[in-house]
Chains A and B, each alone.
Chain A
Amino acid sequence: DQQVKQNSPSLSVQEGRISILNCDYTNSMFDYFLWYKKYPAEGPTFLISISSIKDKNEDGRFTVFLNKSAKHLSLHIVPSQPGDSAVYFCAASAPLSQGGSEKLVFGKGTKLTVNP
């Protein structure tokens, strides 16, 4: 049962336009969400995050929006650049359980291609 879903395996946009990557989740216990970016043959790198107490977080060209009632978040990249071409993973975290660790639950990723 997938708790974090990225329903679009791929997305292609023109340089300078907006890229919107979507992510849905099913577990209402999730309270922290992150986006990671991954280039081929490299490990994922942290991009941006948002706590469930917020509905928007912005960092330069990257903005994450959270709609808790819809259990949906999205990553907006404006303007898109060819160097943004990568796989983007959405991840979610639930609060610590007694004696446990904060496992991140990942979506399957969306491959973004930004065309020059």
Chain B
Amino acid sequence: DVKVTQSSRYLVKRTGEKVFLECVQDMDHENMFWYRQDPGLGLRLIYFSYDVKMKEKGDIPEGYSVSREKKERFSLILESASTNQTSMYLCASKVQGYGYTFGSGTRLTVV
């Protein structure tokens, strides 16, 4: 069965820290995505990647960057964490023509 693994379920970081959120999928999917979920705002796309080393900005890329050096791994980077980046972060992967498989999410708190 399809599996998307996010490295941490809960993280607490300090303002100004550089934060790495890791996501690994085991399905040889081309497309991978990072979303954040906030109450009342739904799922908002931060970045996505449709191949190794390829990335595109989503709807809210400010304050974030991504890295995709290998097909199975898609990393989200908070260059300098701020309190308004406290959120639930969700990684997903997708084979073209089918829906997403999501990871379990990372609840990030920036203090």
Contact = CB atoms under 8 A, between A and B. Distances in A.
Interface in B19-54: 30-31, 33, 35, 37, 40-43, 45, 48, 50
Given A9-B40, A89-B43, A101-B30, A46 B99 contact: yes
B103 A108 contact: no
Majority SS at the chain B contact face: strand
Interface of B: 4, 6, 9, 30-31, 33, 35, 37, 40-43, 45, 48, 50, 56, 58, 88, 90, 92, 94, 96-97, 99-105, 107
B28 to A, nearest CB: 15
A49 B100 CA distance: 11
Contact of A43 (B42, B50, B90): B90
Given A101-B30, A104-B100, A41 B40 contact: no
Given A42-B105, A43-B105, A101-B94, A108 B100 contact: no
Contact of B43 (A34, A45, A101, A106): A106
Nearest to B107: A41
Interface residues of A, number: 25
Contact of B102 (A45, A102, A103): A45
Contacts of A34: 99
B42 A102 contact: no
Contacts of B102: 36, 43-45
A10 to B, nearest CB: 11
B16 to A, nearest CB: 26
